Amino acid sequence: MSEALPEMVSLGAQLAQLAATKGEAAAVTCAGETLTYAELNRRSNRLARALAAKGVKYGDLVTIGLPNSTGFVAAAYAVWKLGATPQPVSFRLPKAELAAIVELAGSPVVVADFDHVLDVPVLTIAELEALSADDSDLPDVTSPVLKAPTSGGSTGRPKLILAGQPAVAAKATPADPGPFRIRPGATMVIPAPLYHNAPFGMMTGGTSAGCHIVLTPRFDPEGTLAEIQAHKAGWVYLVPTMMNRIWHLPEAVRAKYDLSTVEILWHMAAPCPAWLKEAFIHWIAPGEVMELYAGTEAQAVTIITGTEWLTHRGSVGKVAIGEMKVFGDDGAEAAPGEVGEIYMRRAAGTPETYRYVGATAKVLRDGWESLGDLGSFDAEGYLYLADRRTDMILVGGSNVYPAEIESALQEHPAVESCAVIGLPDDDLGQRIHAIVNARGEVTAEDLEAHVKDRLVTYKQPRSYEFVDEAVRDDAGKVRRTALRDARIAAMKQPV
């Protein structure tokens, strides 16, 4: 006898149910403001009617460009309640990039605090709330597409990645908290920006499970520890850049905060240096430090626990969803330990996991798709990442992976964030150039001495550039192609 599938309900209907069953429980907190489930439901109803008045209808994509806030979560649910799809973007986007994304999405309205003037209305949460006072429940409708995040990838050209699943959820149970180990009713701290796919998905999964979602409007290393302690959080999401900044706090500052309630800490979205991962595993213990590797496209997923990682150092885990293989340049499957391009494929018989708008998938054959990452499997089936093919640096005939060098640089206590790129070199073909955002006084000579004992000579940067702004965004993402192109263009300018 086959096991019965869980009953699925629309996200809007589920929020209404939660408002009825646990209405006074905290749903989302940010910057000192908390909405209960009843308040979140009423606020999203009001916003939904305002969006409908501005022309949002079933099947539309609605661009949301807000910093983390209770309003962001309410706006997402408002969109779902109309059978439309949230299309989150960075609230820092320049006008040209925002306009290109809105045109791709065909969004009838942008929910944001932008000053940009576009061809469609740009409205704040307050402006939308002024359009409707009706906060009663709407007729139930299910959006055909859960979310539509953007990705510039390594090229910087925007594309939309429409989720393959509708905006529905199954009721989570204590016995089966799902692959993300979200226990119903847990308190979840998410300092990463909701305009990125993973934190947005975690927020959705958490509210679906009746959790208390604690957001921060911007990432603050000590502030994040304070939120974990204040709310006795059992579940935390970070990216490696955040982990690095937390770890580089003075030890006395870290020790001030009680993290003993943390049962699960997830990190993903960018490679995590091995030294940093190990530090967190021993610090957070007995909680599990979990890692996931996948693309927003979600054809396949690997997962590894901190316990597993200690015996498979550097791995991102075994394939847990879908299929993955590593292929060489000749199209043949790579042997264990051999670095090649990682290809993914959804499990046989399962529906499409995504659809691009503004891009085309790179397909090898038989449904195998690549996101451009390089890596290798070991004999036990554990995957190890190398880097993105487009970011690999060829130095005198040797392949050099920027992530490895960045990991070594980030061990220096003065390095806030960094990126490594390859620049043209008449002798070596490419020279390794490090772009560093540092705190305090640090020189190129300091960093040269630091990496000397950590990297073989040909992997050590030949030049350093110090910048005042963060090299990576709040989600730990970096566009190395854009950084490289800007510096090559500057090199070509007449002196």
Q: Which domains does the chain have, with CATH numbers?
A: 8-292 (3.40.50.12780), 294-389 (2.30.38.10), 396-492 (3.30.300.30)
Which residue carries 């890596």 as its tokens? 375
DSSP per-residue letters across 199-260: HHHHHHHHHHTT-EEEE-SS--HHHHHHHHHHHT-SEEEE-HHHHHHHHTS-HHHHHTS--T
Asked if residue 85 lies in contact with residue 61, where contact means CB atoms within 8 angstroms, the answer is yes
Predicted TM-score (pTM) of the model is 0.84
> What are the tens digits of pLDDT across the range 425-455?
877 778 999 999 998 889 999 999 999 988 8
In angstroms, the CA 126 to CA 132 distance is 11
| Token pair for 21 | 């069953």
Is residue 301 helix, strand or coil?
strand
SS3 state at 487: helix
Helix (H, G, I), strand (E, B) or coil at 459: helix
Closest by Cα among 60, 76, 381 to 206: 76
- The predicted pLDDT at position 65 comes to 96
Quote the pLDDT of residue 133.
96
CB-based contacts of 334, cutoff 8 Å, min separation 6:
326, 327, 328, 340, 376, 377
Residue 492: what pLDDT? Answer: 75
**Who's near 58: CB < 8 A, 6+ residues apart?**
82, 83, 84, 141, 143
What's the pLDDT at 435? 97
CA–CA distances in Å: residue 343 to residues 102, 295, 364, 392, 407: 30, 11, 8, 17, 25
Residue 397 has a pLDDT of 64
Instruction: Return the pLDDT at 372.
Output: 86
Cα distances (angstroms) measured from residue 434 to each of 272, 343, 417: 18, 29, 11
pLDDT for residue 457: 86
DSSP 3-state of 414: coil
Q: Tens-of-pLDDT digits for all 495 residues of the chain?
A: 344 446 789 999 999 999 999 999 999 999 999 999 999 999 999 999 999 999 999 999 999 999 999 999 999 999 999 999 999 998 988 888 899 999 999 999 999 999 899 999 999 999 999 999 999 999 999 999 999 999 754 444 678 999 999 999 876 666 677 889 999 999 999 999 999 899 999 999 999 999 999 999 999 999 999 999 999 999 999 988 899 889 999 999 999 999 999 999 999 987 888 999 999 999 998 889 999 999 899 999 999 999 999 999 999 999 999 999 999 989 999 999 999 999 999 999 999 999 999 888 888 888 999 988 889 999 999 999 987 777 888 887 677 889 889 999 999 999 999 999 999 887 777 899 999 999 888 999 999 999 998 888 889 999 999 999 989 877 777 888 889 989 988 887 765
- d(Cα 142, Cα 80) in Å, to the nearest integer? 7
Please report where in the chains the tokens 């989150």 appear, as a residue. Answer: 88
Would you state the pLDDT for residue 3? 47
Q: Cα–chain-centroid distance for residue 354?
A: 16
- pLDDT attached to residue 172: 60
Instruction: For strands 318-321 and 383-388, give the pairing.
Output: unpaired
DSSP string covering 93-155: --HHHHHHHHHHHT-S-EEE------SS-EE-HHHHHTT----SPPPP---S-S---EE-TTT
In whole angstroms, give the CA distance from residue 144 to residue 58. Answer: 9
My answer on whether omega of the bond before 336 falls inside 30° of 0, hence cis, is no
